Amino acid sequence: MAEFDGLLLFALYWGALALALWAFVDALIRPAAGFVATGKLTKPAWAAITALAVLALYFRGPLDIFGLPAVIAGIVYLVDVRPAVRGLPRGNSW
């Protein structure tokens, strides 16, 4: 049973870290104007939030007092902010 628990925690750790890292990289590659146009926080704010989430998850894990808000921050970015910013056209429209 201990092997299963260890494997589950291992998968949870790397899954949460991958989620936060995906949110961070996505926040970096989106155009800054898209964040303002959709009424969300600015690009530097979301980049900082997701970067802190990655650091908290890397050093503390997802089941920590800092890890749970980090997972929530990554989920909020991917579920709410990313679809709004992704829907805007990139660059020149011609």
Residue 93 has pLDDT above 60, yes or no: no
Residue 76 has pLDDT above 70, yes or no: yes
Structure tokens at 77: 């970015």
Compute the distance between CA of residue 15 and CA of residue 22 in angstroms, rounded to an integer: 10
Mean pLDDT of 82-90: 81
Compute the distance between CA of residue 76 and CA of residue 88 in angstroms, rounded to an integer: 19
pLDDT of amino acid 81? 94
Average pLDDT, the chain: 91
DSSP 64-92: STTHHHHHHHHHHIIIIIHHHHHTSPPS-
pTM above 0.85, yes or no: yes
- Distances in Å between the Cα of 56 and the Cα atoms of 59, 78, 84 are 5, 18, 26
